[in-house]
Structure formats: C-alpha cells, structure tokens
Amino acid sequence: MTLVLPILRNGQRLPLREVPELPIREFREAILQRIHEGDRLACLCADFDLHLHAVLADDAGQALRALRTKLDAPRYPALTPDCPQAHLFEREIAEQTGIVPEGHPWLKPVRFHLPWTGAPDPWQRGGAPVPGAMDFYRVEGEEVHEVAVGPVHAGVIEPGHFRFQCHGERVFHLEIALGYQHRGLEKALLGGPHPLSLKQAETACGDSSIAHAWAYCRLLEGLAGVEITPRVDLVRGVALELERVANHVGDLGALSGDVGFLPTASFCGRIRGDWLNLSAEGCGSRLGRDWLRPGGLRQDLEPARAAAMRPRLDRAWMDTKDAVELLWGAASVMIRFEAAGRVDPDQAREIGLVGVAARACGLSRDVRQDHPFGPYGTRPVPVAQAESGNVHSRAWVRWLELGESAGFLSAALASLAESEADPRPRPLPPRAPEHLCISLTEGWRGEVLHLAWTDAQGRFARYKIVDPSFHNWFGLALALRGEQVSDFPLCNKSFNLSYCGHDL
C-alpha cells in the first residue's frame, strides 16, 4: 500500500486539516519509506498537544510533504535507530515537550532547559538543568585520554563544549554539547507575529540575517497568500548573495590562517569588509539588518544606487579572485586541506548534511535549485559541488559559489539599475487561520527552514526554525574521527557552524 501525501511547494500554505494525520505506526513507516526512496527529513517537531509533525523534502521532485500523528501518551518508538537524520530532532522533541522517543540510542539534552509545557523532565534532573551536564560517551583504556574544551574558547567565537576521546593525538570520537546560547527564540515567537519577531528572526543566527529574515518574510507572505513582485525578489536575492559572498570570503581567509598561509588570510579579512560594506550601501547595516520586511523591503535598491554599487562589486570581486587564487597554487596549503576532515558521502546522506558541507561530499543539495524561491526560479544558480568531502572540498565549494554569486550579483544589479523602484508595500492581509506553511531559503551555510502553523486567530500556534547548523554539527564530529586533535581548528573552520543558530 502506498500512501499519497499532499505535495507542498516551498512557501505555500496548506490548511492544517489537509495535513494527513496517521497513527504512529503508519507515520513512522511513511517517513522511513520516503527516506529510503531518497527524501530528506527536513524537520521533525512536536506541538504541545502530543502531535508530531514531520516535513520530508523530495529535492529531485521540488516537493515538500508534511504529515503528522497524534500520540496517546508522551512516548513513541524512536525513529533514530532506523533513520539517523532524526537523531537531534528527537532529542529536541524530548527536551521541549517531554515526549520520550523510546529506544533512542543517544537521548541527551540539546539546549539544557526544562520542557516548555511543564511536562515531566525526561532526564529527571530536579530543578534547573546545568548546561553541559550530561552523560558523555567515553572510551576507556590505559592509554586513552579525554580532552575537554569550552564553553569559552580561545578566540572571538561563540561558546560550546567539545569532548575528544583520544589515543595519543588520534581522535576516536568527538562529542559536541551546545545550548549555551539558548535565548528561548522559538518560545518567543509563539502567539506572534510580535513587534520583535522580525528582529528575532534576523538574530536567530546573526551572520545569516538575510537567510533567516527572508525565510520569516516568506512564511508570513505564504500564510497571508501574497505574491511578491519580481523586483522585490531580486533585491532580496542581491541581499542574500552579498551575505553569502562576504561569509565565504571570510571563511577562506580564516581557513588559510589556520594552515599558516598568511597572505590570503590577511587579504580576505579586509576584502570581506568590502562585501559587508556593499550590504551597508543597500540597507545601512553591514549584516543586512532591516533590509527585508514581510510583504516587501524596508529599503529598496533604487536604479541609481544599484548602478553605483556595480563598480564597487567588480573591484571587490577582482580583489577576491586575486587573494583566493593564491591558495590553490600553494603546496603547503593543498597538502593540509586535502589531508584533513573527510566525511564519507554515504554517511553524509545518512545523517542529512545540508549546504556547503553536503555539496563538498558530492550531494547535489541546494534550496535555490531544489525548492526555488525568490529570483532563483528564473535566474538559476548552478549547484557547486566537490567529491572528496574533506577540508579542501569544503573550501573549493565556497570558491565555486563565490564565482556564481558574483555573476548573479552583477547581472541582478544591472537589471535593477534599469527598472523602476517599487512603491512602498502595503500591509499584509491577515494570515489564514489554521494553516501550515513551510519556508526554505539557502543561506551561506545551507538550508534554513522556518515552519509555522496558525491558530484560529491566525497567530503562530507553533513556530519552528531549523538552522543548517542543526543538521551539520554531527558532520563535524564525524569529520574528526581518526584525525589529530591539532586538526580540530581547521576542520571546525571548514564547517564554520553556528552556535546560536543551533541553540536558538
């Protein structure tokens, strides 16, 4: 028997009653079968009423499928043993709602808070949880030792705790405990949109402000059933690609710094600023704050402004090319990049990697291609790919994407320079009550998912954010297996995942 699930496109709304509600057995089977056929588990979450919701992404078919189940009791047989992609989602469900996925092999806290609903704490900690206090995986043996790092690290970066099980320099296993950045974001969005909701979306992960703000805006526009004009979409595309380029340039510079190749490291540090300043030219903020708004833009790129940005773009791109091309000709860089941090493509698929890290393993996953949004339907951006899954591949994918984004930006600014700016957007019509909407964008790290369904008044009954880092932190742990502890900074930088995007 095959179950036919309704197909949902990225950013479309669907009445909640049309989301198939299956008994838990069939819910599990439907998920496992579609995963077996090549779908990804883009989201799995629970509400406060013993419902589980799942979103399956069929990337080849440009389709999303939502399904749900109603549990009789706060427990169900875990999916993780049969579907490793569910691993962190099921831990999150246990922590947020107290629903226990039974048989989960690695059921530990994610963000170290008590269930929102006042449900019993699955770990029976009795009182406020202590961050990082959990049952860490341990390798025993006379010559085995443990290295613990964090939460505060030696650098200007966010906090997280890392535990390495080592034999000499060799890492058997790395376990990552996060949650230190938890600000209660999803809880804050309940009952919204509130006046601060857009700001909170922009700061869900502050180096991906546009990716998250755009996902948030499209979600509201989808729930309200509004079409956005192509010109507005194009300006949003410019904002997103500027964000991508600035971060990729920064990452390539930081990677070369981590292998001691200082020319590219110091050039890129500055050039990244040139790209950020282009964003500031568009909206006043280097990080793209207050550029987008639901229904349109807060600040348009008028023809004259778009035209003035083009020569600066060309100059920044010339400097970028000059600085980054040095890397590929330096033997000392290549040998370090190629020898570190390999993730096996099959494992990458199994754990559901997204974004740069997935494409570096030869997986063709890019929301801009798979679930096109904004301008990417009519202006497709080729998916950059590499094969080896190591640090070099992740650097190379970024380099290829820089070229594609620079091309996109140049063409987009040219056409914006020739089209009249839109008049200010009108307020959005009311959001449809009791509807579900799923909105995906491709941030510079990978897939950003925002999902919400509304109550009878059109307010958010549940709001779920999945930052690409949520899918990818486990990939970093796998990349470290068999590597040297001393290569951790390099491997970590090649993923450059977000702590606050994970912790929310």
Partner 1 sequence: MIHILLSRWRQGYRTLPYPKELPALPERFRGRPLIHPERCPDGCRACAEACPTEAIAFGATGPRIDLGRCLFCPDCTEACPEGAIEYTQEHRLATRTREDLSLGPAVEYRLAAALDGELKRLFGRSLKLRVVSAGGCNGCEVDVNVLGTLAWDLGRFGIQFVASPRHADGLLLCGPVTQNMELAVRKTYDAIPGPKLVIAVGACAIAGGPYYRQEEQLGGAASVVPVDLFIPGCPPHPLTILDGLLRLLGRLEPRAGTA
Within its chain, how far is the Cα of 46 from the centroid?
A: 19
Q: Is 167 or 270 the residue whose CB approaches partner 1 more closely?
A: 270
100, amino acid identity? V
Least distance to partner 1, CB of residue 430, Å = 20
In the window 247-276, what residues touch partner 1 (CB under 8 A)? 250, 263, 266-267, 269-270, 272-273
Least distance to partner 1, CB of residue 319, Å = 7
249, amino acid identity? V
Task: Collect all residues with Cβ–Cβ distance below 8 Å to 2 and sequence separation of at least 6.
Answer: none
Among 39, 207, 241, 404, binds partner 1 (CB under 8 A): 207
Using the rule CB under 8 A, is 425 a contact of partner 1? no
Work out whether the CA dihedral 51, 211, 203, 320 comes out positive or negative. positive
For 465, the enclosing helix (H) or strand (E) is strand 460-466
Cα–Cα distance for residue pair 285/108, rounded to 1 Å: 39
Cα–Cα distance for residue pair 185/187, rounded to 1 Å: 5
Least distance to partner 1, CB of residue 280, Å = 4
Using the rule CB under 8 A, is 401 a contact of partner 1? no
Among 63, 204, 351, 477, binds partner 1 (CB under 8 A): 204
Cα–Cα distance for residue pair 463/48, rounded to 1 Å: 12
Q: Is 135 or 344 the residue whose CB approaches partner 1 more closely?
A: 135
Q: Is 136 or 172 the residue whose CB approaches partner 1 more closely?
A: 136
Among 119, 149, 188, 339, binds partner 1 (CB under 8 A): 188
DSSP E strands, 287-411: 292-293, 296-297
Least distance to partner 1, CB of residue 254, Å = 10
Of 19-27, 317-325, 354-362, 376-384, which segment contacts partner 1 by CB under 8 A? 317-325
Using the rule CB under 8 A, is 323 a contact of partner 1? yes
Among 28, 286, 445, 471, binds partner 1 (CB under 8 A): 286
| Mode of pairing for the β-strands spanning 296-297 and 292-293 | antiparallel
Cα–Cα distance for residue pair 433/454, rounded to 1 Å: 5
Among 302, 319, 350, 422, binds partner 1 (CB under 8 A): 319
Contact string (CB under 8 A) for partner 1, positions 60-99, x = contact: ----------------------------------------
Residue among 406, 387, 263 at smallest CA distance from 324: 263
Q: What is the DSSP string of 5-27?
A: PPEE-TT-EEEGGGS-EE-HHHH
| Mode of pairing for the β-strands spanning 13-15 and 435-442 | antiparallel
Which residue has 């989201």 as its token pair? 43
Contact string (CB under 8 A) for partner 1, positions 97-136, x = contact: --------------xxx--------------x--x-----
Using the rule CB under 8 A, is 417 a contact of partner 1? no
Angle between helices 488-495 and 468-479 (to 10 degrees): 150
Residue among 108, 112, 61 at smallest CA distance from 80: 108
Note the residues at the interface with partner 1 (CB under 8 A): 111-113, 128, 131, 151-152, 154-159, 179-185, 187-188, 195-196, 199-200, 203-207, 209, 250, 263, 266-267, 269-270, 272-273, 277, 280-287, 289-290, 298-299, 319, 322-323, 326, 329, 498-500
